[in-house]
Amino acid sequence: MQRYFVPAGQWSDDAVRITGSDARHLAAVLRARPGERIIAADGLGRAAVAVITRVSPDEVVAGLERPIAKTGEPAVRVTVAQGLPKGDKMETVIQKGTEVGAVRFIPFISRRTVVQLDGRKEEKRLERWSRIAKEAAEQAHRGVVPEVAPIATWRQLLNGTGNYAAAFFCYEKEEALAFRRHLAELKSRHPAPDVLLIVGPEGGFAEEEAREAVAAGCLPVSLGRRILRTETAALVALSCIMYEFGEIGGS
């Protein structure tokens, strides 16, 4: 059954109105017919099975049949702050991070970032990244489309660490293997915390940045004795958090 995110404003008490590229995909590609079923989600945690009643090239209307209680939303809410990587690695982080359960992505610029984006380029990248998050959320049966925030400066990122129950700074030079202990301690305080995960770009972090992150209240954590690619690190750290909070292995 095809699954679509339909903005909350396009829901009524008994139907949803699908428009734009999703409507065109249903009408022209899938040749949907009245009577067929789809799953609609509003991106805010509400989902329902709906029966198509009307199909036109730019709009498909479906009557709400029954709500879907379980959506794939984790209790622990992880924001992945990813040092802007080269090429299409950010797309990999967003796609796979959405599948694993991240709720937000913050691309950021730091000392060793090599990618330069002007205003127009940044706007187009953000549109593409948001589309990737939506498609990955539909495929993963998420109840919410993860947000892709505008590109932040290092200082802006550190200024926001106080909004989280914990901010983990994935630091390739961190010797102690204590991530599991930190997560267990966090879980004992917060069963459903907001967590920030900071991952550096290909060039990693300067020592000064590590000091600034700790001063901003971040906990430096090692992800093991091997150096991971930047696009691997966030997924490993995210999976550890999901596992520790029972989203993967149960409690």
CA separation for the pair 42, 144 (Å, rounded):
8
Contacts of 18 (CB under 8 A, 6+ apart): 4, 6, 10, 26, 38, 40, 59, 60, 61, 62
Among 200, 216, 244, 245, binds ligand SAM (CB under 6 A): 200
Could you tell me the smallest distance in angstroms from the CB atom of residue 229 to ligand SAM?
Answer: 5
The footprint of ligand SAM on this chain (CB under 6 A) covers a number of residues equal to: 19
x/- mask, ligand SAM, residues 90-119, rule CB under 6 A, reads ------------------------------
Residue 210 in contact with ligand SAM, rule: CB under 6 A? no
Residue 199 in contact with ligand SAM, rule: CB under 6 A? yes
Among 39, 126, 228, 248, binds ligand SAM (CB under 6 A): 228
x/- mask, ligand SAM, residues 142-181, rule CB under 6 A, reads ----------------------------xxx-x-------
Q: Enumerate the β-bridge partners of residue 235.
A: none
CA separation for the pair 227, 225 (Å, rounded):
7
CA separation for the pair 31, 180 (Å, rounded):
49
Which of 38/218 has CB closer to ligand SAM? 218
What residue type is assigned to position 222 of the chain? Answer: S
CA separation for the pair 110, 248 (Å, rounded):
32
